[in-house]
Amino acid sequence: MEPQVPPFREAVRLAVEDATTRQHLYERLHRLAEHQRARWQEEETATLRAQATAMRQHVLAHLGELWTLAEVQATALGVEVVWAETAIQAVTQVQDALPKGANVAVIRGVIAEEVGLLSALAAEELTLLVADAGGYVTYLVGERPAHPVVPLAHLGERDVAELWRLYTGHQIPMTKEGCVQAIHAHLRAALSQPGVLLVSAHGIVAETGTPFLFDWEGNIATALQAATQVIVLLGLEQIVPTVDDVLLLAQIWARAALGEPDIPQILYLHPHATSQWRFIVVDNGRTEILAGEWRDVLRCVHCGACATVCPVVQEIGNHVYGLPYAGPVAAAWGPLRSPHTHRNLAWASTLCGACADVCPVGVPLPLLIARARAHVARRALWGRWARWLNRENISSGAKERHRGEGP
């Protein structure tokens, strides 16, 4: 099901009034920010950040060349590579590839969330299982993850245990360790069954044509071993030139997202003959963004570092934005993609600059959010001008008709 979020102002009011959820968010995000801050003070982090920023700038400048190479390499490995211009096309490409009644293990990610994939598949005759523990719980209750790497940041252990009992009928311990162990045990048993693996990947390596994921739970490897068919979704910007760039990205991503020096596991998805493979490359407006003044937002690697330190997110969470992107990214991206529906998001920021300070790839988020505000204001001004002009034209036409009728 697609998560149902009230209009922005109402969502903010409800979030502010929910003191318990705010307390959970504050504690978890501040703890994560402390780990992040410790890594950001290391000299090595500054070097990695500069290298990662340069790499992502290079990628955006050479997207066409990189994807040409990646498609050639992937096709040579027996992969079917298809392109989706819109979200609807992306969902259709997935649906067309899925056998009726299949068991589908889903690795959630920003692209799958962006195109509304899970809600579309929920209407099909399929058995869906989200592979990460936090993502699975949020899927059961019909929510988006509260944070890219801490999906249950808004809930306490007792909340998780009670939700698990309500939706599965099973009791689990009301402690962090107990919840994690019980949910992982359930997932790994289910993921070991043959079926389709649907992956929203972190990226793809152009020189090898292989997608990659950062896995800190181990469930993805379990699902991959059992998969008879693998479908990978990738945003147009989610590509790196070489394997060395994956290692670079993993180091800076771990520091930004987790406050750790390294990712526990980098999982490369090497196509093999025992499974059918399809890569779906999603544009969904990215080509237009790439050509304009918002192109820097496509550097984003969706680590959630900006949301971790954002004072707005720390107070009211990510859910109020109604988008799959982390807080400050949603504030910049939402009004651009849907200026009428998400125009208020441009003001869901203090412009304090904390997000820019921790972004591992140097996305100038305060600047982009300020541009989003100007974009919304210009559209509102032009809308008022158009309505005024229309009224004037109607009034002038009426006067002309009245004069033509005579006394």
Residue pLDDT, tens place only, 134-155: 888 988 888 888 888 888 888 8
Residue type, 177: E
Order of strands across the sheet that contains 195-200: 80-84, 276-282, 227-235, 195-200, 103-107, 127-130
* Domains within the chain, CATH numbers bracketed: 8-294 (3.40.50.10420), 296-387 (no CATH)
Task: Flag whether pLDDT at 394 surpasses 70.
Answer: no
The span from the CA of 306 to the CA of 329, in Å, is 8
Quick: pLDDT tens for 162-196: 988 988 888 888 888 888 888 888 888 888 888 99
Closest CA to 304 of 315, 291, 317: 317
How far is the first Cα of the chain from the last one, in angstroms, to the nearest whole number? 64
SS3 129: strand
| Residue 149: Cβ-neighbour burial (10 angstroms; 0-12, 13-18, 19+) | buried
Quick: pLDDT tens for 310-360: 999 998 888 888 888 888 999 998 888 777 778 888 888 999 999 999 999
Q: In this predicted model, which residue has the larger pLDDT, 272 or 359?
A: 359
Record the pTM.
0.88
pLDDT band at residue 291 under the 50/70/90 scheme: very high
Quick: pLDDT tens for 188-229: 888 888 899 999 999 999 999 999 999 877 788 888 888 999
Q: CA 272, 275, 279: angle at the middle one, nearest 5?
A: 85
Mean pLDDT over the full length of the chain:
88
pLDDT for the residue numbered 1: 47
